[in-house]
Chains A and B, each alone.
Chain A
Amino acid sequence: MKRREPFTDSQLLMSIAIGIFVVMYGAAMIFMGGGFLKFQQFFDLLNDNAALIIVSCALSIVMIGGGINISVGGVIGLTVMSCALYLNGTGIESAFGSTAMALLLSLGIGLAFGVGQGFLISYLDIQPFIVTLAGMFLSRGLTTMLSINPVKVTHAAFLDVAKTKLQIPFLGYTAQNGNLIPAKLETGAIIALCVVILSALMLKYTRLGRHTYALGGNQQSSLMLGINVRRTRFLTYVISGLLSGLAGFAFLMHKPAGNSSVAARMEMDAIAASIIGGTLLTGGVGNVIGTFFGALILATIQKIIGLSPLNESWWQEMASGAMLALFILLQSVVLSNRGKKAENAGKMKLKKE
């Protein structure tokens, strides 16, 4: 009874992503040394990419349900800009009050986009690509309407909160002068980790999560199995909207300044992270833990190239593109092999007859 189940498609693709991340990070530690030997380097990956990790989860959930959402980057931009303006204009002085209000505002914006887009897609049967493309235009346009110029947050109490970092001494390192420098984790990174864990739990342990997989696996069957397909699809978009708002908040905590180009093209990075992490655009297969590592792989590529003599953005893009191509082909090969195996098994049976 204790025998291990063979990997499911999700688990297999996720394991490949984790394996590649470990190999890549290990290689960086060996060949580049320096920062990569310190734990802080890993934490910085989280600190710098908190928003990406959160929206990647959002994308994965939608993609598992068989949809797509390309408005997430725009919603982050809008959220950051709105919060920056709000904080600079608000009368609330307290640290808690201002942070809470910024968080509520972020979630509110995200929720509005999620509900609106979800309604159009699920209940009016409009193609998700077009609806979320309009969502992207709307959020980007609203952002520049709010302010065409960059807006720096000047709210002192909030800035203090944003600067607060979780210090973990035992993961730190000893500097040359003998002082122990603890490893630091920012609020955004903590939020990102929580989102990863919570969405993993949601997908695994709630009815909504399982219905999302069923919907992406086979919509017709889902209907026959008694699942409310429209409501499930609607909710995946609501969640992705909410998470985009939250990602905006995390972004704000990391870099408290609004700008029309905040999170530019992040939706595509998030889709890439999801794919690398083993989510299929066709739906039904994927896993946010994999997505988390997918985002980390993209972030590590950036870091490695940033520290190498090739420190130019176009090298980073080429490397991410190559990595994406590799994973897409890998997935197509892995999955088609699996398909063939099942087919062959079927044929063998026919022959035995």
Chain B
Amino acid sequence: MQDGIVLTMRGIYKSFPGVRALQNVDFTLRKGEIHALMGENGAGKSTLIKVLTGVYEKDAGEIRVEGQDGPADIRSPQDAQNIGISTVYQEITLCPNLSVAENMFIGRDKGVGVRWKDMEKKAGDLLKSLGIPARPKQQLSSCSIAVQQMVAIARAVDADCKVLILDEPTSSLDDKEVEMLFGLMRDLKSRGVGIIFVTHFLEQVYAVSDRITVLRNGELVGEFEVQSLPQVELVSAMMGHALAELSDLDKQGSSDALSGEAFYEASGLSSAEARPFDFRIAKGEVNGFTGLLGSGRSESVRAIFAADHVTGGHVKVNGKPVNISKPVQAMKAGIGYLPEDRKRDGIIADLSVRENIILALQVMKGFFHPLSRKEEEAFADEYIKTLEIKTASQETPIKSLSGGNQQKVILARWLLTHPQYLILDEPTRGIDVGTKTEIQRLVLKLAEEGMSVTFISSEIEEMLRTCSRLIVMRDRKIVGELTGDQLNQDTVMKTIAGGEQA
């Protein structure tokens, strides 16, 4: 192993049923560097991290860690920990009901007793030396999320770590907290720890990283020195270029709709998660919210559907003012919403494909107007056929379908309600290319039939192909609206990146 290198991954392959998650990916981490791992959803970042920490077993490839003779064999997070690879996850994996000191040492101590004095002193020293503003005796739940994150880092660092993986540690932190975290990261860097920093925030990457490795669609795009890669180039590296096979899509029909009669109009709409914004969509229009993850694009569409608690704003549907404060009201107004997090918000895991398909229609029909079994089966059959959902039968629990097919079931659920306006938040996330094109075609077909569609995707290509208007968000604000000639990769990326680096 070369000097100054703590970790190398060579030719890593990993696939799941139907999806090739990683193909021939290389990754190198040097001592005392902060190395950003970038890529949009489905790029393979988290798979790579999970292979490294032993959560997944790799199909092929080799991992070498400093201090180990030969390739490392990592089969569990515990193994990874033992050879000096520690991970701090986005969701905090500590116990909120225990004290800060305990959270740093529990599960690592030997013997029967707990020596609070020693533990608290050691914790106090470590917190102090890392400059973490927490008291050892404090209950963890009384710390801010940022401090909890730092406590998790302190725990990881104390376990003699060479490689520290920070998996989107900043997604729920404010600017000041992020700065605090960066201070800690720089401090650890100066102590020679190699840090893998996974994030979606471009500014943060430029603020703290030395190198950037970009993945796209499970493949390595490249490793770059941070100075040699302007922000716009990074965005284009992440988002990629047109795939030839998809370019035969024709969105001619929908671009005329822009100026047409509005189906939905909102002014000053805000929710518990989204800042006030104005929005309008015409009948038969396909528009999209774009921006990086965390830019507020999902929060905005959730506000339209009242998925989060709506806190203000005026909404007009078909020109008439309506009150939409609950999802059911949005549904009655003719709006459908396919959520971003399919597992958490979309599927009812144990229910059958049939039940998942008819759910929304059933709710709209009302509690005392159940569909007959025949109708249900007919509907389910129809959509299983039209959307080519691959399932053993209608009665198969949806949880046993692949991700793409689950997504199609949820899509079927909303199509069945015949909405006038359909919101699709990342409908193509984590599904194979073929299904992606199918969904894109479907969106355009629906628009031709007069349906309004709002489409969100992490892949700009996909958005450009389907949308006739793009609303660009950054830092939870709308920073631009692009139509017509502006709808090209360059302009979009510049608007997303903020222009200053162009």
Direct contact of A and B (CB under 8 A): yes
Contact indicator A353/B175 (Cβ below 8 Å):
yes
A199 to B: closest C-beta gap in Å: 15
Q: How far apart sit A207 and B96, CA to CA, in the bound complex (Å)? A: 17
Q: Which segment, of B21-29, B41-49, B65-73, B137-145, faces chain A? A: B137-145
Task: Determine the chain A residues whose CB is within 8 A of the CB of B401 once the complex forms.
Answer: none
User: Per-residue 0/1 for A208-242: is the Cβ within 8 Å of any B Cβ (1 yes, 0 no)?
Assistant: 11110110111011101111000000000000000
Q: Is B112 part of the contact surface with A, judged by Cβ < 8 Å? A: yes
Known contacts A5-B138, A206-B114, A346-B145; A224/B93 CB under 8 A = yes
Q: How far apart sit A207 and B108, CA to CA, in the bound complex (Å)? A: 10
A10 to B: closest C-beta gap in Å: 8
Task: Determine the chain A residues whose CB is within 8 A of the CB of B94 once the complex forms.
Answer: 218, 221, 225
Task: Determine the chain B residues whose CB is within 8 A of the CB of A209 once the complex forms.
Answer: 114
A347 to B: closest C-beta gap in Å: 8
Q: Is A342 part of the contact surface with B, judged by Cβ < 8 Å? A: yes
Contact residues of B between 80 and 119, Cβ < 8 Å to A: 81, 92-99, 102-103, 106-109, 111-114, 116
- Residue of B95, B108, B175 near A221 (CB, 8 A) is B95
Q: Is A350 part of the contact surface with B, judged by Cβ < 8 Å? A: yes
Q: Is A9 part of the contact surface with B, judged by Cβ < 8 Å? A: yes
Contact residues of A between 304 and 353, Cβ < 8 Å to B: 342, 345-346, 349-350, 352-353
Q: How far apart sit A342 and B145, CA to CA, in the bound complex (Å)? A: 10
Contact residues of B between 128 and 157, Cβ < 8 Å to A: 135, 137-139, 141-142, 144-145
Q: Is B77 part of the contact surface with A, judged by Cβ < 8 Å? A: yes
Q: Is A246 part of the contact surface with B, judged by Cβ < 8 Å? A: no
B274 to A: closest C-beta gap in Å: 11
Contact residues of B between 163 and 181, Cβ < 8 Å to A: 174-175, 177
A229 to B: closest C-beta gap in Å: 10
Q: How far apart sit A115 and B141, CA to CA, in the bound complex (Å)? A: 34
Known contacts A5-B138, A9-B97, A342-B141; A210/B113 CB under 8 A = no
Task: Determine the chain A residues whose CB is within 8 A of the CB of B109 once the complex forms.
Answer: 207
- Residue of B81, B92, B97, B135 near A284 (CB, 8 A) is B97
Task: Determine the chain A residues whose CB is within 8 A of the CB of B103 once the complex forms.
Answer: 225
Q: How far apart sit A9 and B114, CA to CA, in the bound complex (Å)? A: 21
Task: Determine the chain A residues whose CB is within 8 A of the CB of B141 once the complex forms.
Answer: 9, 342
Q: How far apart sit A9 and B141, CA to CA, in the bound complex (Å)? A: 10
B side interface size, CB within 8 A: 33
Q: Is B78 part of the contact surface with A, judged by Cβ < 8 Å? A: yes
Task: Determine the chain A residues whose CB is within 8 A of the CB of B142 once the complex forms.
Answer: 6, 342
Q: Is A205 part of the contact surface with B, judged by Cβ < 8 Å? A: yes
Contact indicator B97/A216 (Cβ below 8 Å):
yes
Q: Is A196 part of the contact surface with B, judged by Cβ < 8 Å? A: no
Task: Determine the chain A residues whose CB is within 8 A of the CB of B107 once the complex forms.
Answer: 211, 214, 222, 225-227
Contact indicator B114/A225 (Cβ below 8 Å):
no
Contact residues of A between 61 and 97, Cβ < 8 Å to B: none
Q: How far apart sit A214 and B102, CA to CA, in the bound complex (Å)? A: 9
Q: How far apart sit A349 and B137, CA to CA, in the bound complex (Å)? A: 24
Q: Is A179 part of the contact surface with B, judged by Cβ < 8 Å? A: no
Q: How far apart sit A209 and B106, CA to CA, in the bound complex (Å)? A: 11
Contact indicator A346/B95 (Cβ below 8 Å):
no
Contact indicator B135/A207 (Cβ below 8 Å):
no
- Residue of B78, B106, B135, B174 near A349 (CB, 8 A) is B174
Q: Which residue of B lies closest to A6 (CB)?
A: B142
Task: Determine the chain B residues whose CB is within 8 A of the CB of A349 once the complex forms.
Answer: 144, 174, 177
Q: How far apart sit A3 and B254, CA to CA, in the bound complex (Å)? A: 66
Task: Determine the chain A residues whose CB is within 8 A of the CB of B111 once the complex forms.
Answer: 207
- Residue of B93, B112, B174 near A206 (CB, 8 A) is B112
Q: How far apart sit A227 and B102, CA to CA, in the bound complex (Å)? A: 12
Q: Is A298 part of the contact surface with B, judged by Cβ < 8 Å? A: no
Q: Which residue of A lies closest to B146 (CB)?
A: A349
Task: Determine the chain B residues whose CB is within 8 A of the CB of A174 once the complex forms.
Answer: none
Q: Which residue of B lies closest to A208 (CB)?
A: B112
A335 to B: closest C-beta gap in Å: 11
Q: How far apart sit A216 and B138, CA to CA, in the bound complex (Å)? A: 19
Task: Determine the chain A residues whose CB is within 8 A of the CB of B108 once the complex forms.
Answer: 226
A217 to B: closest C-beta gap in Å: 4
Contact indicator B98/A210 (Cβ below 8 Å):
yes
Contact indicator B174/A353 (Cβ below 8 Å):
yes
- Residue of B81, B99, B113, B144 near A345 (CB, 8 A) is B144
Report which residue of A221, A225, A352 has the largest number of chain B beta carbons within 10 angstroms of its beta carbon: A225
Contact indicator B98/A217 (Cβ below 8 Å):
yes
Q: How far apart sit A21 and B180, CA to CA, in the bound complex (Å)? A: 45
Q: Which residue of B lies closest to A225 (CB)?
A: B107
Q: Is A177 part of the contact surface with B, judged by Cβ < 8 Å? A: no
Task: Determine the chain A residues whose CB is within 8 A of the CB of B95 once the complex forms.
Answer: 213-214, 217-218, 221-222, 225, 284
B169 to A: closest C-beta gap in Å: 16
Task: Determine the chain B residues whose CB is within 8 A of the CB of A352 once the complex forms.
Answer: 174
Q: How far apart sit A218 and B93, CA to CA, in the bound complex (Å)? A: 9
Contact indicator A5/B96 (Cβ below 8 Å):
no
A346 to B: closest C-beta gap in Å: 7
Contact indicator B93/A225 (Cβ below 8 Å):
yes
User: Per-residue 0/1 for B169-196: is the Cβ within 8 Å of any A Cβ (1 yes, 0 no)?
Assistant: 0000011010000000000000000000
Q: How far apart sit A8 and B140, CA to CA, in the bound complex (Å)? A: 9
Task: Determine the chain B residues whose CB is within 8 A of the CB of A222 once the complex forms.
Answer: 95, 107
Q: How far apart sit A5 and B124, CA to CA, in the bound complex (Å)? A: 14
B157 to A: closest C-beta gap in Å: 15
Contact residues of B between 27 and 45, Cβ < 8 Å to A: none
Q: How far apart sit A48 and B112, CA to CA, in the bound complex (Å)? A: 34
Task: Determine the chain B residues whose CB is within 8 A of the CB of A227 once the complex forms.
Answer: 106-107
Q: Which residue of B lies closest to A286 (CB)?
A: B97
Q: Is A285 part of the contact surface with B, judged by Cβ < 8 Å? A: yes
Contact residues of A between 180 and 206, Cβ < 8 Å to B: 204-206
Q: Which residue of B lies closest to A228 (CB)?
A: B107
Q: Which residue of A lies closest to B140 (CB)?
A: A217
Q: How far apart sit A121 and B75, CA to CA, in the bound complex (Å)? A: 28
B256 to A: closest C-beta gap in Å: 40
Q: How far apart sit A342 and B147, CA to CA, in the bound complex (Å)? A: 13
- Residue of A6, A210, A220, A285 near B114 (CB, 8 A) is A210
B244 to A: closest C-beta gap in Å: 42
- Residue of A5, A205, A211 near B137 (CB, 8 A) is A5
A292 to B: closest C-beta gap in Å: 20
Known contacts A8-B139, A345-B144, A353-B175; A207/B113 CB under 8 A = yes
Contact indicator B135/A5 (Cβ below 8 Å):
yes
- Residue of A207, A213, A216, A346 near B144 (CB, 8 A) is A346
User: Per-residue 0/1 for B449-492: is the Cβ within 8 Å of any A Cβ (1 yes, 0 no)?
Assistant: 00000000000000000000000000000000000000000000
Contact indicator A225/B106 (Cβ below 8 Å):
yes
Contact indicator A205/B93 (Cβ below 8 Å):
no
- Between A and B, 30 residue pairs with Cβ closer than 8 Å are A5-B135, A5-B138, A6-B139, A8-B97, A8-B99, A9-B97, A10-B97, A210-B114, A214-B102, A217-B96, A217-B97, A217-B98, A218-B93, A221-B92, A222-B107, A224-B93, A225-B93, A225-B95, A225-B103, A225-B107, A226-B78, A226-B81, A227-B107, A284-B95, A342-B141, A342-B142, A345-B144, A346-B144, A350-B174, A352-B174
Q: 11 more A-B contacts (CB under 8 A) besides A5-B139, A218-B97, A349-B174?
A: A5-B135, A5-B137, A8-B97, A207-B111, A207-B113, A213-B95, A217-B98, A222-B107, A226-B81, A349-B144, A352-B174
- 4 tightest Cβ-Cβ pairs between the two chains A and B: A226-B107, A217-B95, A217-B97, A225-B107
